[in-house]
C-alpha cells in the first residue's frame, strides 16, 4: 500500500483581518494518487496549497511533505513540490527556455537541457522556446507555467485551476499530461472549478467549503454512494400509476405513459427488477428506456448545500 506523501494535521489559517481561511484541516494524500480539491470561490483551496508550498504562513497545525515538516525543513519539502499557480505570473520579456531553466535552477538543480527539451516538447512548446513570454497566447503561457513547475522533476505537483480559461483542446491535452505524470509516479493535487475535470481524472475527491473539509472520498465510492440514478421507462399506453404504488420511489411522467424511477446502486435494492416484472404482469409493452446518472457536480452542490 502506498504511503502518505503529504500529511496535514489540524491546519488552520487566519488572516490578520480575522478572516478564517482554513479551519482545522486534516487530510492525508497518498503517494502517486490524483486528488481533486473541489470548492466554491473563497472556500480555501488556494490558501491550502499556499500553506503547503510556503507562500502563506500557517497559523496553527502541522504539514509534512515526504515526512519533513514544511516549516522546519522547508528546503527539503519544497524541492519535492512543483506548483502551477492559478495566476499566470511570468516575466514578460524573457524567453520561454530561459524562464524554464531559471525555475530549474531556483529549485536547486543543475542545468539539464535534455530534460528541459523533453518537457517543452511534451507541452508543445519546443518551437516556441526562443519566443518572449509577451508574444505567447494565454494558452501557451499556461503551458509555460506547467513547464516551469515540472522543470525540477517534482514528486508532487500542485495544479491550481490549471485549465481555467483555456480552450477545450488544451484542456484535453492537460488531462492527458496529468494522467501521464501519474503513470510516471507523480502525486497530483488539483483544484478546479470544472467538476467534470475532477470526474475525468481524479482518484479521490475532497470537497472544501468555508475553510473546512466537508468530505474526502474515493471518487468511485463517492459516485456510487451519492450518485443516484434516474430511469425513465416509456410504455406503449397511458398507465394507472396506482398499480405500481407499492414502490415509493416511482412517479408518473408528464406524458402519463412513462414511469420515472429513482434508485441507487449502493442500496443494492431489487426495486428495478420488481418494477419490470410488474410491467410485464400488467401487460404493458416497453417502448423505450432512458437512464440518467447524478453527476459529481450535483453531488458537489448537495454537499456544499446549494
Partner 1 sequence: MNFYAIKAIYVFEMSRTLRTLIQSIASPVISTVLYFIVFGSAIGSRMEDISDVSYGSFIVPGLILLTVCLQSISNASFSIYFPKFIGSINELLSAPVSYLELVIGFISAAVTKSMTIGLIILITASFLVDIEIKHPIWMICILFLSCVSFSLMGFIVGIWARSFEQITIIPDLIITPLVFLGGSFYSISLLPDFWQKVTLFNPVVYLISGFRWAFFGNADVYIGYSILAILVFTFTCMLIIWRIFKTGYRIKS
Q: Which residues contact partner 1 (rule: CB under 8 A)?
A: 15, 50, 53-57, 74-76, 78-79, 81, 83, 85, 87, 89-94, 98, 101-103, 105-110, 148
> CA-to-CA distance for 179 and 155, rounded, in angstroms?
14
DSSP 241: G
Provide the minimum distance between the beta carbon of 223 and partner 1 in the complex, in angstroms, as a whole number. 33
Provide the minimum distance between the beta carbon of 122 and partner 1 in the complex, in angstroms, as a whole number. 20
For residue 67, what is the enclosing H or E element? none
Long-range contacts of 87-91 (CB under 8 A, 24+ apart): 88/138, 88/141, 88/142, 88/145, 89/145, 90/133, 90/141, 90/144, 90/145, 91/133
Provide the minimum distance between the beta carbon of 271 and partner 1 in the complex, in angstroms, as a whole number. 52
Give me the numbers of helices (H) and strands (E) for the chain, helices first please. 10, 14
CB closer to partner 1, 55 vs 286: 55
CB closer to partner 1, 50 vs 206: 50
CB closer to partner 1, 8 vs 239: 8
Provide the minimum distance between the beta carbon of 70 and partner 1 in the complex, in angstroms, as a whole number. 10
Provide the minimum distance between the beta carbon of 46 and partner 1 in the complex, in angstroms, as a whole number. 10
Q: With left for phi above 0 and alpha for psi between -120 and 50, is residue 305 left, alpha or beta?
A: left
Spatial CB neighbours of 81, under 8 Å, sequence gap ≥ 6: 52, 53, 65, 154, 155, 156, 157, 158
Provide the minimum distance between the beta carbon of 114 and partner 1 in the complex, in angstroms, as a whole number. 17
CB closer to partner 1, 38 vs 79: 79
Decide: 151 and 181 in contact? Cβ < 8 Å: no
Provide the minimum distance between the beta carbon of 15 and partner 1 in the complex, in angstroms, as a whole number. 6
Provide the minimum distance between the beta carbon of 253 and partner 1 in the complex, in angstroms, as a whole number. 53
CB closer to partner 1, 75 vs 280: 75
CA 261, 266, 272, 274 torsion: positive or negative? negative
Neighbouring-strand partners of residue 20: 14
Decide: 50 and 87 in contact? Cβ < 8 Å: no
CB closer to partner 1, 119 vs 275: 119
Q: What is the edge-to-edge ordering of all strands in the sheet holding 68-69?
A: 20-30, 4-14, 60-65, 68-69
CB closer to partner 1, 138 vs 290: 138
**In the Cβ-directed half-sphere of 25, how many Cα atoms lie within 13 Å?**
37
CB closer to partner 1, 49 vs 213: 49
Amino acid at each position: 500500500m502506498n504511503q502518505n506523501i503529504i500529511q496535514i494535521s489540524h491546519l488552520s489559517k487566519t488572516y490578520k483581518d480575522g478572516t478564517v481561511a482554513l479551519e482545522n484541516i486534516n487530510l492525508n494524500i497518498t503517494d502517486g494518487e490524483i486528488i481533486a480539491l473541489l470548492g466554491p470561490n473563497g472556500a480555501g483551496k488556494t490558501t491550502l496549497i499556499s500553506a503547503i508550498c510556503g507562500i502563506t504562513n500557517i497559523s496553527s497545525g502541522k504539514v509534512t511533505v515526504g515526512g519533513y515538516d514544511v516549516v522546519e525543513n522547508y528546503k527539503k519539502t519544497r524541492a519535492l513540490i512543483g506548483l502551477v499557480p492559478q495566476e499566470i505570473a511570468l516575466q514578460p520579456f524573457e524567453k520561454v527556455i530561459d524562464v524554464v531553466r531559471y525555475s530549474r535552477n531556483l529549485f536547486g538543480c543543475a542545468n539539464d537541457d535534455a530534460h528541459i527539451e523533453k518537457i517543452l516538447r511534451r507541452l508543445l512548446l519546443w518551437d516556441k522556446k526562443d519566443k518572449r513570454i509577451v508574444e505567447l497566447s494565454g494558452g501557451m503561457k499556461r503551458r509555460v507555467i506547467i513547464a516551469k513547475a515540472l522543470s525540477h522533476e517534482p514528486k508532487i505537483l500542485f495544479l491550481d485551476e490549471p485549465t481555467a480559461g483555456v480552450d477545450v483542446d488544451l484542456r484535453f491535452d492537460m488531462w492527458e499530461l496529468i494522467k501521464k505524470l501519474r503513470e510516471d509516479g507523480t502525486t497530483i493535487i488539483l483544484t478546479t472549478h470544472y467538476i467534470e475535470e475532477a470526474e475525468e481524472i481524479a482518484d479521490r475527491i475532497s470537497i472544501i467549503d468555508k475553510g473546512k473539509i466537508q468530505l474526502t472520498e474515493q471518487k468511485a465510492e463517492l459516485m456510487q454512494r451519492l450518485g443516484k440514478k434516474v430511469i425513465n421507462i416509456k410504455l406503449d399506453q397511458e398507465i394507472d400509476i396506482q398499480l405500481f404504488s407499492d414502490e415509493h420511489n416511482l412517479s408518473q411522467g408528464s406524458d402519463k405513459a412513462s414511469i420515472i424511477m429513482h434508485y441507487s446502486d449502493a442500496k443494492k435494492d431489487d426495486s428495478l427488477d420488481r418494477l419490470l416484472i410488474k410491467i410485464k404482469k400488467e401487460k404493458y409493452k416497453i417502448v423505450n428506456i432512458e437512464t440518467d446518472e447524478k453527476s459529481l457536480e450535483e453531488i458537489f452542490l448537495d454537499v456544499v448545500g446549494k
